[in-house]
Structure 1
Amino acid sequence: MHVLVLPSWFPTALAPAKGSYFYRHLHALQHAGHRVGVVYPEHHSLRQLSGRALRAHFFQTRWHLEYDLPVLRRHGWNVLSQAPGSYTALIRSAVRLGERYAATYGRPDVIHALSAQWAGGAAAQLARRWNRPMALTEHFSGFVKDTLVSEQRRWAHAAFEQADAVAAVSPALRTALHTQSWCPAARICLLPNPVDFSFFTPPETRPEPPPVVWASVGRLVPAKGTDRLLQALAGVVDAGAKVHLHVVGNGPERAALCTLAKRLGVQDQVTFHGHLSRPDVRNVLQQAHGYVLASHYETFGIPVVEALACGCAVLATRCGGPEYILSDVQGQMVPPHSTAALRHALLRMTRALQQGQPLGPTRVDRKRLHNRFSYDTFVTCTVDLYQNAKRHWASL
């Protein structure tokens, strides 16, 4: 099957971590024997503008071979920012890239949009223009938070109306799409993000506590709740527990979080790693006893599954994705936005781990996780999504 993918976000030279997991998703489809191409109008933030960046990204269109995938990019800048017409400009650019892709590789069998927030609008236009089926997978947390602006809403409605098959990465996101009248729940299948269980594996040995080592992976933005995590950690330290926290990820809150750690007196118990490679993330998880997610909301939570695959005990807020991941799997959950609940659970689990209690996933848990979140399962479910799109399109 020939599939053209339009992502709403994708890795770029100036933001290599943004949507990097999509590479692995699409490469898995290609490895299964499907032809996959990508078009992406990358519009960089003007905050990243420099003479060197402008020489590399001057609104030119260029083919790239990335993970053996043909990717057609337009290297530009987000000149309009959030001004009216910015999303329309992105969609117009993506449609032009789609036509150029089709002139080289032929029209695809299926058009697949990754999020309706703007790529879905471009996919809808190409689907009508080419008379092709359209699939839509929703990842965007803005649908959970209900924060889309009017222009995003207009194009998102067009995407959901045109889509022949729709998927969401978690039940919480599916419920949000239904309750906000984007799409009936009966039309939305589940297509969770996959994890490579041959890469993320338990280590042969872990360091013996104390200290009990915790890890947290994600962008350092307010929605991730890392400030509450640091406050909870300070309470654990004050209670006399020997503990260390590894924070992996970059973001605009990093400096403020480092300052907060010093103010709370836990700077010696926290290591801020910044952005790490996948092997280095795996190493952090394999050396940790537990993983903690303090987010206010998550549409899924890939690092939670990666941590479980590495054998970590997991403490997470009930923020959307973790409820799905930890259903029928050993783990602890607390309400979001509650520093006290997070602190109490973190202290309780830290003491249990220090005493050698087995809080990590069992063998049965790991089998369940593999069955639900492996790449084999992902490919099968994605191809089913495409087949459903083709059947619905043919019936019209």
Structure 2
Amino acid sequence: MRILVVTPWFPTAESPVSGVFVRREVEALADRHEVTVLHLDWQRGTPSPPAPGHGYGYRHESLRRSDPRSYTRARRVVSQAALDHDVVHTHALTGLLPWLTGRPGQGRAWVHSEHWSGISAPETLGTGERAALRILGPRLDHADAVIAESTRLADAIRRFRSAPIDIVPCVVDAPAALAPRPTAGVPLLSVGGLIPRKGPLLALDAMATLVERGVDASLTWVGEGPLGEEMRAEARRRGVSDRLRLPGRLDDDGVSRELAAAAMFLLPTQGDNFCVVTAEALVHGRPIVSGVATGAVDYADPAVSRFVSVQDGPAYADAVQSLVETSRHLSAEDVAETVSRRFLPSTVAAALTGIYERAVDRARRPM
């Protein structure tokens, strides 16, 4: 089958992790289908074409939000590219702005994957984004198939779509080998932006609370953002500066190394639709403690997870201590086995193939 992936999110030289979950999905699909990525880049980044051997085509279109001609151009290039494909697979609601009317790739099956956290957490949106949600949300009812990456997001999409919604998780890369879980102390790892929604100050509070209780805990937070200095200042105030590491943003290999050194993954998130980094932690054989507003509740086994609804440091510290005790007997292999083959490229590609086949059949039916 010939698949045209149309996405506003895809890695660029300036933002190598932007849309990496879309890239991983494309790589999985390319093992089964003829795939072309059309990156409608409203951020006007430097293209980052696929490395040789990944087996998919790539086209980059640099667009400007403030230029009405960009919307006309987006419609035109998608319509032209769709002529050579069986399915147009769009990503992200904001990517549908050029199609306030009509369908991307008129006459072809249209599948849409949704990722935007604004749908499941509209209270976090600004005025302009709320307007975009009101206008674009109903467009989801016109697609031949809509895919969400978690039950949390699917439930939010049902405000706009009466037809069924498929749930397909993200592709999550597994390490070549699992590192044994550390037995000395409780080194905690968090990955995400240093922003309020991810809860870095809560994570620091939890670590400091554990230390005050006599637990040999430490915290490494991988990521960048405006709360870095506040975290350092709070760590000094609590007397745990020597137990806090902020290495900044790391690539996939760097995150894997940090996971190998960690005993547990901690993310006091206030809202994530899938939470790739939590899935990565489980795949690496590390138990997880998370805020309850996350898609991770779909896939995390209670034996290796805790979800915290009370948003304060002591509550997270309680969850860490509880999980340390109950998972002490589990090896890294035991933890990873709880998600088994769920996030493998072959598993995700097989699920998407079934959706494409149904979408093509639906698109061919007379209206």
TM range (shorter): 0.7 to 0.9
Letter in 1 for 2:118: G
Partners of 1:227 and 1:257 within 8 A in 2: yes
Q: Could you report, residue by residue, the CA deviation over 1:341-378 in whole angstroms, capped at 9, with x for unpaired residues? A: 1122234445x38xx82256764x64451232222110
Partners of 1:330 and 1:361 within 8 A in 2: no
Q: How does 1:244-263 map to 2 (within 5 A)?
A: 244-263=218-237
Q: Hey, what does 1:31 align to over in structure 2?
A: 31
Could you tell me how far apart the structure 2 residues matched to 1:230 and 1:63 are? 36
Residue in structure 2 matching 1:388, options 351, 358, 364: 358
Distance 1:28 1:334, change over 3 A: same
The answer to whether the aligner puts 1:44 opposite 2:43 as a matched pair is yes
Q: Could you report, residue by residue, the CA deviation over 1:270-313 in whole angstroms, capped at 9, with x for unpaired residues? A: 11121112112111111211111210011011111211121112
Q: CA deviation at 1:247?
A: 1.0
Q: Hey, what does 1:139 align to over in structure 2?
A: 115
- How does the TM-score come out when normalised to structure 1? 0.81
Q: Hey, what does 1:357 align to over in structure 2?
A: 328
Residue in structure 1 matching 2:183, options 208, 211, 219: 208
Partners of 1:63 and 1:71 within 8 A in 2: no
Partners of 2:63 and 2:70 within 8 A in 1: no
Q: Hey, what does 2:306 align to over in structure 1?
A: 332
Q: CA deviation at 1:108?
A: 1.2
Partners of 1:232 and 1:343 within 8 A in 2: yes
Distance 1:123 1:107, change over 3 A: farther
Letter in 2 for 1:392: R
Distance 1:388 1:276, change over 3 A: same
Partners of 2:12 and 2:48 within 8 A in 1: no
Q: Could you report, residue by residue, the CA deviation over 1:46-77 in whole angstroms, capped at 9, with x for unpaired residues? A: xxxxxxxxxx86xxxx8945544322223356
Q: Secondary structure at the match of 1:22?
A: helix
Q: CA deviation at 1:138?
A: 1.1
Q: Hey, what does 1:107 align to over in structure 2?
A: 84
Residue in structure 2 matching 1:301, options 275, 280, 295: 275
Residue in structure 2 matching 1:196, options 164, 168, 173: 173
Q: How does 1:68-79 map to 2 (within 5 A)?
A: 68-75=55-62
Could you tell me how far apart the structure 2 residues matched to 1:385 and 1:120 are? 24
Partners of 1:206 and 1:288 within 8 A in 2: yes
Q: CA deviation at 1:315?
A: 1.2
Partners of 2:100 and 2:136 within 8 A in 1: no
Distance 1:212 1:327, change over 3 A: closer
Could you tell me how far apart the structure 2 residues matched to 1:4 and 1:258 are? 46
Could you tell me how far apart the structure 1 residues matched to 2:114 and 2:176 are? 25
Q: How does 1:82-231 map to 2 (within 5 A)?
A: 91-99=71-79, 101=81, 106-119=83-96, 122=99, 125=102, 127=104, 130-146=106-122, 147=125, 148-158=129-139, 160-178=140-158, 181-184=159-162, 187-197=164-174, 199=175, 201-203=177-179, 205-209=180-184, 211-231=185-205
Letter in 2 for 1:177: I
Partners of 2:8 and 2:42 within 8 A in 1: no
The answer to whether the aligner puts 1:268 opposite 2:242 as a matched pair is yes
Letter in 2 for 1:259: A
Q: Which runs of 5+ in 1 are unaligned?
A: 46-55, 81-85
Alignment root-mean-square deviation, CA = 2.8
- How does the TM-score come out when normalised to structure 2? 0.87
